[in-house]
Amino acid sequence: MMYLDYILEREGKLSIKSDKGFIVYGIYNQIVFVHDFYVMPEHRMSGEGFRLADMVVEVGRKNGCKVLQGHVIPSSKGSTEAMKVQLAYGMRIESAFNDCIVMSKEI
């Protein structure tokens, strides 16, 4: 996960890691924003993504956050699957502009 370490050092974001994947997030006022997440292909559909997201939500709540946000870039590889996962997690479309769909959920 050297790439993840590089991103965290370069951009100053936070992360939660497991042996099956990771999630990169930041806390901005009352919003916990998921910048990126990854679950290894052999562990997808196992609930690992939801488990990681639940941990981020818990961190957000402890820091006074009221909203979980993330985004989907439609032109990116895997964007349809990413949108399905976020919708299944209870997120809804907050806004869309250019090549970005912002998803949101009260926590």
C-alpha neighbours within 13 Å on the C-beta side of residue 17 = 9
What does the alpha-carbon distance between residue 67 and residue 14 come to, in Å, rounded to a whole number?
Answer: 17
Query: Quick check: 65 and 104 in contact, CB under 8 A?
Result: no
Q: Residue written as tokens 């998921």?
A: 34
The tens digit of pLDDT for each residue in 36-76 reads 999 999 999 899 999 999 999 999 999 999 999 999 999 99
When the pLDDT of each residue in the chain is averaged and rounded to a whole number, the result is 94
Per-residue pLDDT reduced to its tens digit, 43-53: 998 999 999 99
Q: Residue 6: what pLDDT? A: 86
Q: Which of 62, 28, 21, 2 is nearest to 13 (CA)?
A: 28
